[in-house]
Amino acid sequence: MRRLFLPIYIIVALVMQGLFSSCTNETEDAPAISMVRYTDPDLADQDLAEVGLGEVIAIVGKGLGSTVMVTLNDMELSLSPVYITDGSVIVTVPDDVPTVATNSSVSNKLVVTTSNGMIERDLIVLPPAPSIESISNEFAKAGDSFKLSGKYFYFVEKVVFPGGIEVTTGLNVNDEATSLTLTVPDGVTEAGAVEVVTASGTSSTAPRFMFNDKTGMVCNFDDLNIFSWGVGPGAFKTEDGLDGVYVHTYQDSPITPGSWWDNNWVIAMNGYAGQGLNGAASDYALKFEVNVGAPLNSGRIQMQFIGDNGPHFLWKPWEINKDMTRYWEFTGDREPFQTEGWETIVIPIELFRYSGGAGAPVGNVADIDGQPIRFALQNADDPEGEEIPMLDIKYDNIRIVKIK
């Protein structure tokens, strides 16, 4: 959000205006507000209906010289006598003034109190710019439902897909402004970031939130199919896939606690051609798409690089209230996990640890570049492990990508 600072010539003019007013008016008028504007002379004709956090504004009117208090959304703003004249009061909208992001019943009222009375007017305070924390499916097709999760999805104007393709209708935001759903438009062929544009600003274009991007692909089950063992040919499917072949790990009979290493539950990939990855592990993530067709109430998907002592991570999407940096521990809280079609999963590489999870975390992504990767379902012993009535998980587009 931009901040507008007051040029010195405006300060001098306001001081002189205040001195002149005090000498020529024996009594001050009752306060009145004619407009609220920015202090920039080029924007002086714009009467503001909304303002952003951190902005400097001028309250213009008459009878304002004896102003003793200004509140915005019931929060008292800081005043300086230098910026108070009969015709205007200049204030800064602080970053902590309440908005709909912190108080859904915020008043959106500007109130000026003087020694001769009080006057108020409507003024919407915009929340911070939107922040995207995840997108539902990085390879969603035209016509698919698409969900963005994050914060501050207030006053949404449009969503912009790669290639500048805009969606301005059918933007559905939940009451908390933490999720935004829409339909993927036709014609998106480029790879790039998805952006949310609101009255407060535009979301970050950080590389964590990409669309149609195949950079860093390790295995897509089409032209990058690098198996050594695990699921057989019958697991390779195309029906209702993302963009070609995917792997389907499926079993219609129960999987009991303590069950491990069934080939039908394992995707074991040989070492792929190194991509020259180098840099802090915290800057990269393992990404893939899944489609979980039956509720998953137990089991770990062990994701492992190099070999048995190589760095691994245990993905347990059914376990809630989880500290992901201590993924080997069991919280005792579970909620069956199932997707509505394909979803993108993002696991930071810095969460992978050596020696079966007991060792040090990966420091540099070069340590895993070109190394074998294995996805394997394990159902732990009691109490973590429960009987899994049915296994139905589809995987596609396993990749290592830069997220920062």
Average pLDDT over the chain reads 90
- For residue 14, the model assigns a pLDDT of 46
Return the exposure string of 364-392: e unless at least 16 CB atoms fall within 10 Å of the residue's CB, then b: ebebbbebbbbbbbbbbeeebbbebbebb
What pLDDT is stored for residue 23 in this prediction? 42
Q: What value does the mean pLDDT take over residues 385-391?
A: 97
Those residues with Cβ within 8 angstroms of residue 293's Cβ, 6 or more apart along the chain or in another chain: 338, 339, 392, 393, 394
Question: Whole-angstrom Cα distance, residue 365 to residue 281?
Answer: 5
pTM over 0.75: yes
pLDDT higher for 104 or 285?
Answer: 285
- For 16-60, give the secondary structure using H, E and C: HHHHHHHHHCCCCCCCEEEEEEECCHHHCCCCCCEEECCCEEEEE
Q: Does the pLDDT at position 4 exceed 50?
A: no
Band the pLDDT of 7: cuts 50, 70, 90.
low
- Please say if the pLDDT value at position 241 is more than 70: yes
pLDDT at 27 over 80: no
| 170 burial level (CB within 10 Å; 0-12, 13-18, 19+) | exposed
